C-alpha cells in the first residue's frame, strides 16, 4: 500500500480523501506501520532537466553534432559522465575482438555507450531517471552534476546555462 502524507504537528497525515479512506480500510486504529519516507519527484524540476538538455543540444558546437545527433543521445552521454550508469569491462584477445564486442554491447541499445582502450572494452548503460527509479533528493544531485557536465561541454558557466534554460521555460 502506498499513500502520500504530509508531516505537520508532529505527525504524518494522509493527503487527500483517497489516501485517508485507503488507510481507514486497510489499517486498524493504533496499527503500527513501517514507513519509508521519500519526497515525491517534482514534475517541474524533471521537465527543467529536459529543457536544460534541449538548450545544450541547441547550442552544441558544430564539431559535436555528429557525436550527439539527438538530445536523447546527449542525455545518455551526460548521465554516464555523471556516473549515473551501470558499467562493465571486457578484456578481449586483441583490438579486432574489442571492436566487435563494443559493437555487440551497444547494438540496438540507445542507452549504452562503449569505449575501447587497446583490447579492453568499457561498456556503460545509463540508468532510468523515471519517477519510480529516482527520488527527488537523488534527482537533485544528478541535476547538479548534469548541469555542470553540459555547461563544461558548451564552454559556459552553469549559471549561464541555467539562466538561458529558464528564459525558454518562462
Tell me whether residue 31 is exposed, middle or buried, using C-beta atoms within 10 angstroms of its C-beta: 0 to 12, 13 to 18, 19 or more. exposed
The answer on pLDDT for 170 being more than 70 is: no
Mark whether 21 and 47 lie in a shared domain: no
Write out the residue range of the structural domain in which residue 89 sits.
43-169
Averaged pLDDT, 87-109: 95
For 102-124, the DSSP string reads: HHHHHTT-TTEEEEEETTEEEEE
Mark whether 19 and 92 lie in a shared domain: no
Decide if 81 contacts 119 (C-beta within 8 A).
Answer: no
Supply the pLDDT for residue 28.
83
Q: Which of 120, 40, 134, 116 is closest to 79 using CA atoms? A: 134
Domain count, the chain: 2
Mark whether 100 and 145 lie in a shared domain: yes
Mark whether 133 and 74 lie in a shared domain: yes
Supply the pLDDT for residue 15.
75
- Which has the higher per-residue pLDDT, 43 or 8? 43
> pLDDT for 51-89, tens place per residue?
999 999 999 999 999 999 999 999 999 999 999 999 999
- Which has the higher per-residue pLDDT, 20 or 52? 52
- Which has the higher per-residue pLDDT, 129 or 8? 129
Mark whether 67 and 15 lie in a shared domain: no
Mean residue pLDDT across the chain: 90
> What pTM did the predictor assign?
0.76
Mark whether 31 and 107 lie in a shared domain: no
Mark whether 29 and 100 lie in a shared domain: no
Mark whether 152 and 118 lie in a shared domain: yes
Mark whether 145 and 101 lie in a shared domain: yes
Question: Could you count the other beta carbons within 10 Å of the beta carbon of residue 76?
Answer: 21
pLDDT band, residue 31 (cuts 50/70/90): confident
Supply the pLDDT for residue 37.
67
Mark whether 120 and 85 lie in a shared domain: yes
Mark whether 108 and 142 lie in a shared domain: yes
Mark whether 21 and 95 lie in a shared domain: no
Amino acid at each position: 500500500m502506498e499513500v502520500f502524507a504530509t508531516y505537520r504537528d508532529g505527525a504524518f497525515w494522509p493527503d487527500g480523501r483517497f489516501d485517508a479512506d485507503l488507510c481507514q480500510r486497510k489499517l486498524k486504529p493504533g496499527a503500527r506501520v513501517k514507513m519509508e519516507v521519500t519526497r515525491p519527484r517534482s514534475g517541474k524540476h524533471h521537465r527543467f532537466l529536459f529543457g536544460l538538455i534541449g538548450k545544450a543540444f541547441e547550442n552544441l558546437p558544430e564539431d559535436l553534432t555528429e557525436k550527439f545527433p539527438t538530445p536523447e543521445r546527449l542525455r545518455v552521454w551526460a548521465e554516464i559522465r555523471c556516473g549515473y550508469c551501470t558499467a562493465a569491462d571486457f578484456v578481449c584477445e586483441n583490438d579486432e575482438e574489442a571492436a566487435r564486442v563494443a559493437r555487440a554491447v551497444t547494438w540496438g541499445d540507445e542507452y549504452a555507450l562503449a569505449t575501447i582502450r587497446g583490447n579492453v572494452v568499457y561498456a556503460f548503460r545509463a540508468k532510468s531517471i523515471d519517477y519510480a527509479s529516482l527520488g527527488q533528493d537523488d534527482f537533485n544531485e544528478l541535476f547538479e552534476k548534469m548541469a555542470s557536465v553540459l555547461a563544461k561541454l558548451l564552454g559556459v558557466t552553469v549559471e549561464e546555462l541555467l539562466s538561458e534554460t529558464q528564459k525558454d521555460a518562462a
